[in-house]
Amino acid sequence: MTTSGRTTSSASRTTSAAARDPPGNAAGVRTSRAYVLPVQGSLRSGRVRAFLVAEAFSAVGTWATFIAIWGYAAFEFGATAGDVTLFGVALTLPGVLLGPFVGTVIDRIGPRATLGVAKAIGVVASLALLLADDFRTLALLSMVHGVAGALTVPALQSLPPRLVRDEELARTNALVSLTDEVAIIAGPVVGAVAIGWFGFRGAFVLTAATYLLGILVLPIVQVRDVVDPTAHGRRPGLRDALEGLRLVARTPVLRRVVVAMSSVHLLYGAALLAE
C-alpha cells in the first residue's frame, strides 16, 4: 500500500561488479558501491529456504492484521467508510515518513537486527489490540503496525546480497519479492478465515504468532557484512537518506519506477478500502 516502505539500503540489490579483491580486504568481493564479504550461504540451503518460507508466513500475517483491524473497527466501534480510510492512513503514514530513512537504519545496525526490531514491534502491537477498547486506541495501534511494516520490507529486501552467492542473487531477489506479492493476495483470505474461526481477538493472536515466527527464524541464517569502501569510518546518517531521494529525482528510470509502483499501490489501497 505504500512504496516508501520499500526503500532499501545502499547495498540491498547490488551484484558483484568485479572479481578483483579490494585493497585491505583480500577476501572480499567488490560490488557497485560496497565490498561484500564472502559467504557460504546458498539458496539451496535448507536454512535459507526455511527463513524465506517463515518470512512469507509472517508477511501473510501482517496483511491479515490489516483486515482484522478494519473489520474490528467496523463491527465493534461502528466505523464508517471515512473512519476506515483513516485507519488506512494510519497504517501507511509511517512508511511515508520513515521510508527515506530506513535504509540508513539498516546500514547502521544491519538488516537482521532491523527485522528483529520490526517483528518485536509487530508482536507487541498485535497483542495490544486485545486491550483496545476505543476507536482512538485502535487507530494508534494501527500506526504502530505501520511502523513495523515500514521497517520490515526494506530490511527483508536488503538481505539477499548478504545471504546467498552472487549467481543466485537475482533468483533470491525474485523470491523475496514474491513473498510480499503472495502476502497481498493470501493475507486478506487468512485474515477473513481467522476472524470466522476464532473471532477478531483470535485473529490478533494469530498475527502476533506470525510476527513471532519471523523472530524465531532470524538466528538460523548466516548474514555476511557489507563494507562501503567510500565510508572511511563515517557512520550512515541523514546525508545518506537525502542522497537516496536525490538519486531518484535525477534518474529518469528510477522516477518512472517510483511513480508506477506508487500508482499501483495507491489504486490497490483504494480498492481494498472500498471493499
- The CATH number of the domain holding residue 163 is 1.20.1250.20
Give residue 238's pLDDT: 62
| Cβ proximity of 248 and 258 under 8 Å | yes
In which domain, by residue range, is 92 found?
4-274
CA angle 160, 163, 164 (to 5 degrees): 85
Across the chain, mean pLDDT equals 75
Q: What is the pLDDT at residue 249? A: 81
- Residue among 5, 60, 14, 59 at smallest CA distance from 33: 14
Q: How confident is the model at residue 274 (pLDDT cuts 50, 70, 90)?
A: low
| pLDDT(236) > 70 | no
pLDDT at 240: 66
Q: What is the pLDDT of residue 57?
A: 87
- Sign of torsion, CA 12 116 49 203? negative
Average pLDDT over residues 178-205: 87
The end-to-end CA distance of the chain, in Å, is 15
Q: Is the pLDDT of residue 156 over 60?
A: yes
Task: For 59-87, give the DSSP string.
Answer: HHHHHHHHHHHHHHHHHHH---HHHHHHH
Q: Which of 138-142, 174-178, 241-245 is least confident?
A: 241-245
Q: What is the pLDDT of residue 234?
A: 54
Q: Is the pLDDT of residue 54 over 80?
A: yes
The rounded distance, in Å, linking the Cα atoms of 75 and 89 is 19
Per-residue confidence at 260, pLDDT binned at 50, 70, 90? confident
Report pLDDT digits (tens) over 78-133. 777 777 777 777 887 887 788 778 888 888 888 888 999 999 999 999 999 888 88
Burial class of residue 79 in the structure, from the number of CB atoms within 10 Å of its CB (0-12 exposed, 13-18 middle, 19+ buried):
buried
Q: 150, 152, 158, 177: which is closest to 96 by C-alpha? A: 150
Count of domains for the chain: 1
Comparing 77 with 8, the larger pLDDT belongs to 77
Which residues is 226 bridged to in the sheet? 36
- Contact between residue 60 and residue 179 where contact means Cβ atoms under 8 Å apart: no
With the C-alpha atoms ordered 190, 196, 202, 204, is the resulting torsion angle positive or negative? Answer: positive
Give the global pTM: 0.71
